[in-house]
Amino acid sequence: MAYLTQPDFVRYVCSCGQLKPITNLYFCRHCLKIRCGFCICHEVDSHYCANCLENMPSSEARLKKNRCSSCFDCPSCFHTLSTRATFAQTRQDPAAGDAKVENKQAKKMYYLSCFNCRWTSRDVGIPDQPVASGGWPERPNPFSARINQLLDYYKAIAQQEKQEKLDRERKKFAIRGKYITLTDKTGLTGAMARNIAGLPSSESSSSAIANFVPSVASAEVEELPEDYHLREINLKQVTTMAQRLASPEWQPASVARLHPVARPLSVKRSQRCRACDHNLTKPEYNPGSIKFKIELLAFYHMPEVKIISHESVKPGQQSALLLKVSNPTSHEMALRLLPPDHQAETETDETTETHEKNEPKSIEKSLEKSLNLEKDTTWSKVIERKPQMPALSQICIPEVTLTLAQRDDAAEYDDDPQHDTSDIILWRKSNKLALRLKVSTDPSAEVGQPAQVALSLQYSYRNTVPPSAQSAQHRDHTLTTTVLLDLGTVCE
Amino acid sequence: MAQNIKILPGATVCEDCTLEGDITIGGGTVVHPRVTIIAEGGPIIIAEYCIIEEYSTIIHKKSDKQENPPKPLFIGAHNVFEVGCKLESPFGHIGESNVFECKSYVGVDVKIGSGCVIGAACQLTVPQSLPDNTVIWGSEHHNREALEKQPSQLLQLDFLSKVMPNYHRLRKPNLHKRQPSRPSQEGAKV
């Protein structure tokens, strides 16, 4: 049961061991595994402003510090500011008299206003603008010189380190000449020779590094004014922490110094399976569109389990549990219920196998392109974890294979439930199936503890990926997945 | 309860609203349908050019320490009561150019100055007095002080008083007094 605001009652076990609701999971059709946001690769596709929906290439976004140039956020409540128009009488110079009659015409002037907290750009004395967008005065950063200096310095260091690495690699593979050079013979290194000759050393050749002055901490601070602790403060004039941190360059302490904050850009991101490098999601390029070009959500590929209702779980007793299972695919699905340990065993076998398979591959790859970032398979070991499986409550697993019909949108109009009910099938309706199961709880379960129960589903899955030329993939697979059901707390 | 409802000429008051007690509605004010105004604790006087939107409730609550004769609840000019707001103030005075946003609640013993904004769904229940130009917003009831009063809604008022008679039955003005003077507010053409 996946809701937006309610707790997740049904969670699936991802291939990396995380527990997530089905709406947060992806299904890689190539590895036939569940993936989640934790174990996939996130890539930035494009930058855009969520307010004006303007697309921005990443180089331009970096130049503009990932902020939109035409949209602003309220410095007071961080809501988007809107532009409001007023008709302002252009002020006439008393000396000019009636010389300029056209000037009397009302002129449209614009100011920024927040509809949430009613902050306006007039509150802090920003003059109204004659154009609707852009042209707002930018406040210069008081530390821009220092920041640029630091940026240059770190860029130079990065450059230098890169160069050193290249040199080292070259040295490693450099074929020693036939002849012994003078420096080798005398034990004089190049740096020493340069030092003796009074030449600047090659390492600190960059002027950015040479001219860099590290900042020095000083113990002397400006004294606080005498009345600092005595003065009555008006909290309405003091900015909050969040307001100060929204503009880190100025960190205004007084409300009168708040300045519109340029709106941070959002990104469109595509997600990629780390094991096979296939895309799991890929959004459309247009920022106004919320559709996906590729959308391999678990929601479309795996049987979805929902809790209809359950009796309260009591220690040492059996309680009824009604589940609804639905098949979102367009193929018939055979379903078996298994105890959760079954799944865990098979999975560990599989993972060790794949690790063995993967290793020679990665060595090959690293030989092929040693300088490129080869695929690192160690990540899976790092992030993999075993989920804690509840042991106190168990589902009594019926030994039956159930079939789930394919999804049929037209079936919704035919509201005639099929009556092949049995002792475990409560009802059946197109691609949905309601099951009546029993949960038995250990007598040692403590009252008040969360009652959880795990269940494995073995289901048949037909792969719809067109088979590639080299590998003759078989289309039908039997997959297993484990779900964790939250049944409230153990009652008395 | 004695029904004594005085509607000044120029006011637009829809018939489909609950008005109880001694209520005076000033000229230029627009009262939408389904509004509830109950003057059980004393008279309610609403000044000119207010907008009282649908489902808003203004109650002059009865209290134990009532003065005799009861003090009227005076609501100044240019106040806007947005949809579903509730005002239960027997305090006697509400300034002008305030905005009570949707679903806001102002309880008893809250004194409101002028140019204040009570944000959407904000609840003021503790006895307090809001100085002029206070803006309260958000679920955490942030507040700040605005520099100037909220711009008045005269364009909206003009439109409403023109359109409302086409679609609703109105209560007739029953008090003939001198024409209320046109307001001389700045930024009237906003």
Interval B53-69 mean pLDDT: 84
Structural domain total, chain B: 1
Q: Would the CB atoms of B137 and A119 count as touching at under 8 Å?
A: no
ipTM (interface predicted TM) = 0.80
Q: Report which of A17, A7, A16 is spatially closest to residue A387, judged by C-alpha positions.
A: A17
* pLDDT tops 50 at residue A99: no
Answer yes or no: is B31 within a domain.
Answer: yes
Interval A455-463 mean pLDDT: 89
Answer yes or no: is B186 within a domain.
Answer: no
pLDDT band at A231; cut points 50, 70, 90: confident
Q: Report which of A144, A149, A142 is spatially closest to residue A215, judged by C-alpha positions.
A: A149
Interval A26-45 mean pLDDT: 90
Largest CA distance in chain B: 46
Tokens coding A92 = 């006439």
Residues of A in contact with B145 (CB under 8 A): 236-237, 255
Q: Would the CB atoms of A117 and B145 count as touching at under 8 Å?
A: no
Q: Please tell me if residue A459 touches chain B, with a CB cutoff of 8 Å.
A: no
Q: Please tell me if residue A128 touches chain B, with a CB cutoff of 8 Å.
A: no
Q: Which residue of B has its CA nearest to A78?
A: B138
pLDDT recorded at residue A175:
59
Residues of B in contact with A86 (CB under 8 A): 187, 189-190
Considering the entire predicted model, what is its pTM? 0.72
Residues of A in contact with B187 (CB under 8 A): 86
Reported as type and span, the H/E element at residue B110 is: strand B110-112
Lowest mean pLDDT: which of A158-172, A351-365, A408-422, B38-52? A351-365
pLDDT recorded at residue A371:
40
Q: Would the CB atoms of B137 and A86 count as touching at under 8 Å?
A: no
Start-to-end CA distance of chain B, whole Å, equals 42
**CA B132 – CA A278 distance, rounded (Å):** 61
Q: Please tell me if residue B163 touches chain A, with a CB cutoff of 8 Å.
A: no
Residues of A in contact with B153 (CB under 8 A): none
Q: Please tell me if residue A233 touches chain B, with a CB cutoff of 8 Å.
A: no
- Domain limits for position B12: 4-171
Interval A256-282 mean pLDDT: 91
Q: Which of B147, B150, B152 to mutate to test the interface with A (most CBs of A within 10 A)?
A: B147
Q: Which residue of A has its CA nearest to B141?
A: A117
Compute the mean pLDDT over every residue in chain A, rounded to the nearest whole number: 80
Interval B155-165 mean pLDDT: 93
Tokens coding A159 = 């450059």
Q: How many CB pairs under 8 A join A and B?
A: 39
**CA B19 – CA B7 distance, rounded (Å):** 11
Answer yes or no: is B190 within a domain.
Answer: no
Answer yes or no: is B166 within a domain.
Answer: yes
* B135 min Cα distance to partner chain A (Å): 7
**CA A446 – CA A290 distance, rounded (Å):** 47
pLDDT recorded at residue B160:
94
Q: What is the pLDDT of residues A332-354, one digit of tens each?
A: 889 998 888 754 444 444 444 44
Which is more confidently placed, A371 or A122? Answer: A122
Q: Which residues pair with B108 in a beta bridge?
A: none
Residues of A in contact with B149 (CB under 8 A): none
Reported as type and span, the H/E element at residue B100 is: strand B99-100
| Pairing mode of beta strands A476-489, A304-310 | unpaired
**CA A401 – CA A107 distance, rounded (Å):** 77
- For chain B, what is the radius of gyration of the CA atoms? 16
Nearest by CB to B147, which of A86, A123, A240?
A: A123
Domains and CATH numbers, chain A: 10-23+302-346+383-489 (2.60.40)
Q: Which of B144, B145, B149, B154 to mutate to test the interface with A (most CBs of A within 10 A)?
A: B144
**CA A143 – CA A209 distance, rounded (Å):** 19
Q: Which of B135, B140, B141, B190 to mutate to test the interface with A (most CBs of A within 10 A)?
A: B135
CATH classification of the domain holding B74: 2.160.10.10
pLDDT recorded at residue A292:
93
Q: What is the pLDDT of residues A56-76, one digit of tens each?
A: 998 999 888 899 988 999 999
* B160 min Cα distance to partner chain A (Å): 21
Q: Which residue of A has its CA nearest to B148?
A: A123
Q: Phi then psi for A293, rounded to 5 degrees?
A: -80, -40
* A78 min Cα distance to partner chain B (Å): 12
Residues of B in contact with A237 (CB under 8 A): 145
Residues of B in contact with A119 (CB under 8 A): 144, 146
A89: left (phi over 0), alpha (psi -120 to 50) or beta: beta
Q: Residue A431 burial by CB count (10 A; 0-12/13-18/19+): exposed, middle or buried? A: buried
Residues of B in contact with A122 (CB under 8 A): 147-148
Q: Give the dihedral sign, CA A191/A192/A193/A198.
A: positive
Nearest by CB to A122, which of B117, B137, B147?
A: B147
